[in-house]
Amino acid sequence: MTVTPKISINDGNLVVHGKTILRGVPDNIILTPGSGVGLVTGAFIGATASESKCLHVFPVGVLEDTRFMCLFRFKLWWMTQRMGTCGNDIPLETQFMLVESKDTTEGEHEDAPTIYTVFLPLLEGQFRAVLQGNEKNEMEICLESGDNAVETNQGLYLVYMNAGTNPFEVINQAVKAVEQHLQTFHHREKKKLPSIIDWFGWCTWDAFYTDVTAEGVEDGLRSLSEGGVRPRFLIIDDGWQQIGNEAPKDTNCVVQEGAQFANRLTGIKENKKFQTKGLKHVVEEAKKQHNVKYVYVWHALAGYWGGVQPAGPGLEHYETALAYPVQSPGVMGNQPDIVMDSLAVHGLGLVHPKKVFNFYNELHAYLASCGVDGVKVDVQNIIETLGAGHGGRVSLTRSYVQALEASIARNFPDNGCIACMNHNTDGLYSSKQTALVRASDDYYPRDPASHTIHISSVCYNSLFLGEFMQPDWDMFHSLHPTAEYHAAARAVGGSPIYVSDKPGNHNFELLKKLVLPDGSVLRAQLPGRPTRDCLFVDPARDGTSLLKIWNVNKCTGVVGVFNCQGAGWCKVIKKTRIHDASPGTLTSSVQATDVDTIDQLAGPGWNGDSVVYCFRSGEVVRLPKGASLPVTLKVLEYEVFHFSPVKEIVTNISFAPIGLLDMINSGGAIDQYEVHLASEKKSEHLDGESQSSTATVSLKIRGCGRFGVYISQRPVKCSVDSANTGFDYNSESGLLTLNIPVPLEEEMYRWNVEIQV
């Protein structure tokens, strides 16, 4: 018997499961099968060149008439998605690509399974690979070191490929195979999540920007607490540090626009705005007076936007030197950045890589002594532009990331770190510890084009980023025309939930759909990702598709549906723009299997029936296996569907848990449920017919308010923590509702709810 590899090069064609993906593969392209556990289904693409250089572009083969979705860096800091059908559609700086084909190993036929092939460009030694396309429809590998002195003439493990019938498993297995191959990073599942993820937070950024003060922090916390929604974590963003600017005033105006970006750190302690009270007192006040559990502060990976002041008083031992950023051609071919315009003229104060652990450790030890629990580390990708003289971009980035993670491990025991502006593979494939990553470009409250783009970008980026860290879908304003749209996305995204409201500007009614009275949130379990039928359509630009995002809670699945049409990143003008000022109303449908792992939630013996609770409409519908529910939305509208597998608890009585009906992520309230049969015996009726014994459904519930389950027959009685309670039962829909009180004191309290049938 001949074992045919699932991925191979035959007669100049790259073939996956019998289907040609790339034609005309050049002779200098080498395919190496993956080896070892978890690598058996995959293969590495390598390439050789006739001369050594610091930058190579290798054509890999022609891609045509094949749907794909990719994630590329549209600017230095951030990725977004692009869909296409040919090589020329692959953007510069593509770091992840998923291709759709059919399995034709058994010949061409209609019901052949869909095969999903992932391409992951990797790091090899001091080099980094990315994908791009050219006008001949060739996929290319761009390989670069970022240092003219670091050259090579080959790379054997430049791109890892994996293929299979479940796209989410294919991606997951591929990243785990690369983890085993590189041994320089860890998968998300191995990392400790910081505790902030389960609590509601407030960030100072969009409230004050860099004008944040100690008084502003106090005002913001008081304002939210007085409305009954207590932030349990606080992020003091950019604006608290000691900085200075030596830039001359007569430089050209483009650079002056970005003058703040030339500022450098002049000390590791707080600036004058915070010195009157002292950072330590600000933190203590937040924790004692406002019951904040965790305080994070912001800093850049280089210290500040412009780095650290060379030979600044008290900073001499960091051996900081001025460095001038050089961006890669791929980044330059996408969106220019004002930060880089500024730094290219003024330079950045780069702490010597051998001293950078000392810098982080001294900064973080000081912060920890003030009661700070973690840091938001921003502007990370700047380091890739400074690799010259340091062994290249990969070496320098890895030095910085490893030093940062070592300092965080030493000073912040809860793994308190949010990584930001770090969407490059140099960093992602070098991170063994950081567990939270900002998933897209910022939330921009005043930019109308940004809101739909934000939701689609965080969702698609999470397909890739979510394998490394838990994606953070960013802060938002609770009082804003798009507030509920953003809130719903955070609720289904599994993201930390935090706002950046100005003091006094809050929508408490909305916040109470996200936050429980103890300040905790109902977090979905996984990174939110697009459903299978959304992978290769473009819900931001195609004018016809709604975006569907799936996730799971402990006992139920959830699908958020969003109309994200009308705006996107434009490759012609190289920036985000509105391309349809009035996108139409769109219709799609949802079904239980949109939740990719619903079979696992349901357990063995599930017949495929589910109950769906529609959050906005309040409808409860029982769906037979394979049935779907239509959904129609205008732009910037959403609906959230909770899918609960139906379980027969005794003959002719079926049950499905739903959750807290007034919380956006309703199903997040249910920790577990069990069915106990009252007796295994059957009682004989006078007419000779037997009746199944009764049963009790026991649920563990977090939160308070209207709690709902589906049950096909009116129950005998219900209790909450052993006290009988009244309930409403709708025999048409099968919805049983009862009221869960507010827990008295205990945080994260779990109620015991029992329903007897």
Give me the pLDDT at residue 247, please: 62
**What are 729's two structure tokens?**
């039962």
Distance of alpha carbon 362 from its chain centroid, rounded? 30
Which residues, 6+ apart, have CB-to-CB distance to 250 below 8 Å?
none
Give the integer Cα–Cα distance in Å for 294 and 634: 38
**Residue 286 predicted with pLDDT over 80:** yes
Give the integer Cα–Cα distance in Å for 523 and 337: 35
**Residue 1 predicted with pLDDT over 80:** no
**What are 32's two structure tokens?**
């190496």
Q: Tell me which residue of 30, 72, 39 sits closest to 183, measured CA to CA.
A: 39
**Residue 454 predicted with pLDDT over 90:** yes
Contact 141, 390 (CB under 8 A): no
- Span 696-723, pLDDT tens digits: 999 999 999 999 999 999 999 999 999 9
**Residue 744 predicted with pLDDT over 80:** yes
- Which residue is listed with tokens 């992951």? 120
Neighbour count for residue 705 (Cβ, 10 Å): 17
Q: Tell me which residue of 367, 373, 460, 382 sits closest to 426, measured CA to CA.
A: 382
The continuous run of DSSP H or E covering 44 comes out as strand 43-53
Percent of the chain exceeding pLDDT 70 equals: 95
Which residues, 6+ apart, have CB-to-CB distance to 181 below 8 Å?
34, 39, 44, 122, 157, 160
Residue 691: pLDDT band with limits 50, 70, 90: very low
Domain segments of the chain: what residues? Answer: 7-183
Residue 36: pLDDT band with limits 50, 70, 90: low
**Residue 608 predicted with pLDDT over 70:** yes
Contact 440, 450 (CB under 8 A): no
DSSP 308: B
Least confident of 118-127, 256-265, 398-407, 503-512: 256-265
Residue 261: pLDDT band with limits 50, 70, 90: confident
Percent of the chain exceeding pLDDT 90 equals: 90
| Beta pairing class for 79-84 and 647-650 | unpaired
**Residue 684 predicted with pLDDT over 50:** no
**Residue 682 predicted with pLDDT over 90:** no
- Span 459-468, pLDDT tens digits: 999 999 999 9
- Span 169-228, pLDDT tens digits: 999 999 999 999 999 999 999 999 999 999 999 999 999 999 999 999 999 999 999 999
Mean pLDDT of 575-604: 95
**Residue 234 predicted with pLDDT over 80:** yes
**Residue 40 predicted with pLDDT over 70:** no
Give the integer Cα–Cα distance in Å for 63 and 129: 19
pTM, full prediction: 0.96
364-396 exposure pattern, b = at least 16 Cβ within 10 A, e = fewer: bebbbebebbbbbbbbbbbbbbbbbebbbbbbb
Residue 256: pLDDT band with limits 50, 70, 90: very low
**Residue 688 predicted with pLDDT over 60:** no
β-partners of residue 120 are 160
β-partners of residue 678 are none
**What are 47's two structure tokens?**
């390439």
Neighbour count for residue 250 (Cβ, 10 Å): 6
Give me the pLDDT at residue 254, please: 39
Residue 734: pLDDT band with limits 50, 70, 90: very high
β-partners of residue 641 are 559, 614
- Span 360-390, pLDDT tens digits: 999 999 999 999 999 999 999 999 999 999 9
- Span 611-629, pLDDT tens digits: 999 999 999 999 999 999 9
* Mean predicted lDDT score pLDDT of the chain: 94
**Residue 250 predicted with pLDDT over 60:** no
First CA to last CA distance, the chain? 58
> Which of left, alpha, beta for 614 (phi over 0: left; psi -120 to 50: alpha)?
beta
The continuous run of DSSP H or E covering 739 comes out as strand 735-740
Q: Tell me which residue of 587, 515, 529 sits closest to 558, measured CA to CA.
A: 529
Give me the pLDDT at residue 248, please: 60
